[in-house]
């Protein structure tokens, strides 16, 4: 199949080039705007490349995705997501028309049903069945399309099954680290040469991401992948160095919630097979990361601010914290204030909430709740919150079923254990952060989860 594609590629390239030249000449003759013709040429070339070199094209999309978040104001991430949706549907349609197999798994079908269920809130919104009305339909539909894109990337990656070696595919995903890490280095050491669009925020780095917190969860996912590579590799030194580099950037995002996620991740990994070496290694890794965080003025300020919250100060109750939130600039206290208000609003529409992706319009400060459980409750009510929890439970079940399957090879089982540790860390971070809105992290999460479910061949080591 691959050889056939390689032989056909020059012919296809010639035919496409000829068609483009003829079309361009015709466009000039009838006076079509050059910008529109240029866009049409780009689309044609992209489609040609996608279908002629499918596996390479998908890999390029996976690598490029980590570089576009910073251009959110230009709608580039949204355009890329919609483009991936369309390409996936076109490719699957092509397979069906050719009577070829479309690769799916049991979790994908559950995922599809769950996405379809979320459309209920989009339908109910204009019908007056929710806390907000049809004036917010576009925002709600945009959120549903974002979730639908996750389903499509899972399906797209599944089509690479039996075409690409799983471990090779996962190694190639690491190439996506290059753009955000390169920009993060400049944000750390040469911030003055960067334009405002590419700069960090408040002494925090964000790489190619829109916010440092999004960069933090992305880094934690790739720390997880590197941890797995470290355990499987024969030559461990490169992976130890990469783990150290990623940890440095992880700390430099200065996201306090991410430290709790890291602690849960390490704890889950070392507890099942606890021995002295793993215990010492886990403790040293945590001490290294937390020590780096606490060594910065920003980190010290964040840690000391916890002393002025009900969490560590018994003299401050929730009502006082809400009052203090109006003037003390304590992020935890204003979170408490926001959560209290949103919970009061949710009680007016407890069953189905206000609508998918609309919690930002319910909040007084027009910000997301910084608590994904409250967000799920406000947007979806009790029904939506139940489906939300069920969705994460299903992911855990999926990983556990792969781990326990007799067909699972050792390296695949190790990967699933690492992914399970990451999955258990995510709900902890969701207590004080909008992780549900970290689209890029989930983009790679679904990619890796899809690969984890492939049929792996036994291998001795990973270089």
Q: CB of 216 within 8 A of CB of 247?
A: no
Look at residue 112 and tell me if it is in a domain.
yes
Specify the pLDDT at position 459: 64
Specify the pLDDT at position 233: 86
Tens-digit pLDDT string for the chain (463 aa): 444 444 444 544 444 444 444 444 444 444 445 555 455 666 677 777 788 889 999 999 999 999 999 988 888 899 889 999 999 999 999 999 999 999 999 999 999 999 999 999 999 999 999 999 999 999 999 999 999 999 999 999 999 998 999 999 999 999 999 999 999 999 999 999 999 889 887 778 999 999 999 999 999 999 999 999 998 888 999 999 999 999 999 989 988 889 889 989 988 988 877 677 777 777 787 787 777 777 777 666 766 666 566 655 566 656 655 555 565 566 677 788 889 999 999 999 999 999 999 999 999 888 899 999 999 999 999 999 999 999 999 999 999 999 999 999 999 999 999 999 999 999 999 999 999 999 999 999 999 999 999 999 886 444 4
DSSP designation for 100: P
Specify the pLDDT at position 32: 44
What tokens appear for 170 in the block? Answer: 């996962």
What span, in angstroms and rounded, lies between the C-alpha atoms of 40 and 54?
20
Q: CB of 116 within 8 A of CB of 387?
A: no
**Residue 209: count of CB within 10 angstroms of its CB:** 27
Residues 6+ apart with CB under 8 A from 31: none
Half-sphere exposure of 277 (CA within 13 A, CB side): 1
Query: What domain range includes position 291?
Result: 104-452
Label residue 58 exposed, middle or buried (CB < 10 Å: 0-12, 13-18, 19+).
buried
What tokens appear for 451 in the block? Answer: 């690969």
User: Which is nearest to 270 in space by CA: 308, 305, 227, 311?
Assistant: 227
User: Which is nearest to 213 in space by CA: 278, 144, 260?
Assistant: 260
Look at residue 47 and tell me if it is in a domain.
no
What's the angle, vertex CA 384, arms to CA 382 and CA 389, rounded to 5?
95
Radius of gyration over every alpha carbon of the chain, rounded to an integer in angstroms: 24
Specify the pLDDT at position 271: 81
Look at residue 157 and tell me if it is in a domain.
yes
Look at residue 162 and tell me if it is in a domain.
yes
What span, in angstroms and rounded, lies between the C-alpha atoms of 56 and 61?
9
Alpha-carbon distances of 297 from 183, 260, 294, rounded to whole Å:
22, 19, 8
Does residue 316 come out as left (phi exceeding 0), alpha (psi in the -120 to 50 range) or beta? beta
Q: Extract long-range pairs of 413-419: CB within 8 Å, 24+ residues apart.
A: 414/228, 414/231, 414/232, 415/170, 415/228, 415/448, 415/452, 416/452, 417/269, 417/272, 418/224, 418/225, 418/227, 418/228, 418/269, 419/224, 419/448, 419/449, 419/452
Specify the pLDDT at position 335: 82
Look at residue 67 and tell me if it is in a domain.
no
Alpha-carbon distances of 333 from 289, 308, 328, rounded to whole Å:
25, 8, 8
Specify the pLDDT at position 463: 47
Our count of domains for the chain comes to: 1
What span, in angstroms and rounded, lies between the C-alpha atoms of 247 and 288?
9
Look at residue 425 and tell me if it is in a domain.
yes
Using the structure block, give the residue that is written with the tokens 């049809």: 134
Look at residue 170 and tell me if it is in a domain.
yes
User: Which is nearest to 36 in space by CA: 54, 22, 18, 24?
Assistant: 24
Using the structure block, give the residue that is written with the tokens 């979320």: 118
Specify the pLDDT at position 461: 46
Q: What is the largest CA-CA distance in the chain?
A: 79
Judge if pTM exceeds 0.75. Answer: yes
Look at residue 366 and tell me if it is in a domain.
yes
Residues 6+ apart with CB under 8 A from 300: 294
Tell me how long the chain is.
463
Q: CB of 220 within 8 A of CB of 262?
A: yes
What span, in angstroms and rounded, lies between the C-alpha atoms of 58 and 267?
34
């Amino acid at each position: 199949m691959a050889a056939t594609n390689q032989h056909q590629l020059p012919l296809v390239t010639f035919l496409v080039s000829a068609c483009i030249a003829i079309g361009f000449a015709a466009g000039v003759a009838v006076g079509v705007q050059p910008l529109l013709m240029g866009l049409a040429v780009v689309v044609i070339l992209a489609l040609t490349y996608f279908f002629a070199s499918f596996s390479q094209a998908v890999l390029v999309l996976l690598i490029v995705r980590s570089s576009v978040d910073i251009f959110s104001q230009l709608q580039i991430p949204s355009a890329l997501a919609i483009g991936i949706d369309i390409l996936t549907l076109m490719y699957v349609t092509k397979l069906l028309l050719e009577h070829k197999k479309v690769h799916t798994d049991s979790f994908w079908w559950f995922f599809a049903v769950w996405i379809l269920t979320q459309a209920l809130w989009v339908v109910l919104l204009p019908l007056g069945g929710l806390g907000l009305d049809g004036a917010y339909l576009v925002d709600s539909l945009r959120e549903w399309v974002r979730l639908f894109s996750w389903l499509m990337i899972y399906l797209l990656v599944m089509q690479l099954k039996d075409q690409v070696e799983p471990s090779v595919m996962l190694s190639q995903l690491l190439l996506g680290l290059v753009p955000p890490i390169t920009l993060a280095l400049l944000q750390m050491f040469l911030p003055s040469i960067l334009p405002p669009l590419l700069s960090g925020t408040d002494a925090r780095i964000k790489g190619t991401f829109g916010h440092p917190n999004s960069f933090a969860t992305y880094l934690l996912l790739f720390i997880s992948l590197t941890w797995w590579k470290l355990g499987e590799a024969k030559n461990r030194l490169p992976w130890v160095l990469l783990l150290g580099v990623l940890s440095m950037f992880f700390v430099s995002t200065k996201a306090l919630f991410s430290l709790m996620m890291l602690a849960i991740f390490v704890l889950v990994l070392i507890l099942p097979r606890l021995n002295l070496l793993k215990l010492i290694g886990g403790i040293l890794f945590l001490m290294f990361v937390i020590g780096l965080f606490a060594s910065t003025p920003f980190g010290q300020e964040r840690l000391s601010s916890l002393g002025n919250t009900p969490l560590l100060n018994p003299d401050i109750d929730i009502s006082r914290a809400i009052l203090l939130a109006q003037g003390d600039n304590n992020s935890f206290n204003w979170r408490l204030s926001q959560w209290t208000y949103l919970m009061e609003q949710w009680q007016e529409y407890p069953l189905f909430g206000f609508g998918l992706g609309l919690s930002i319009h319910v909040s007084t400060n027009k910000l997301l709740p910084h608590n994904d459980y409250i967000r799920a409750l406000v947007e979806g009510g009790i029904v939506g919150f139940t489906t939300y929890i069920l969705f994460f439970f299903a992911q855990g079940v999926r990983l556990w079923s792969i781990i326990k399957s007799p067909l699972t090879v050792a390296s695949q089982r190790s990967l699933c254990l690492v992914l399970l540790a990451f999955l258990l860390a995510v709900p902890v971070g969701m207590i004080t952060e909008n992780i549900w809105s970290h689209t890029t992290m989930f983009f790679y999460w679904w990619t890796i989860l899809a690969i984890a479910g492939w049929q792996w061949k036994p291998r001795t080591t990973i270089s």
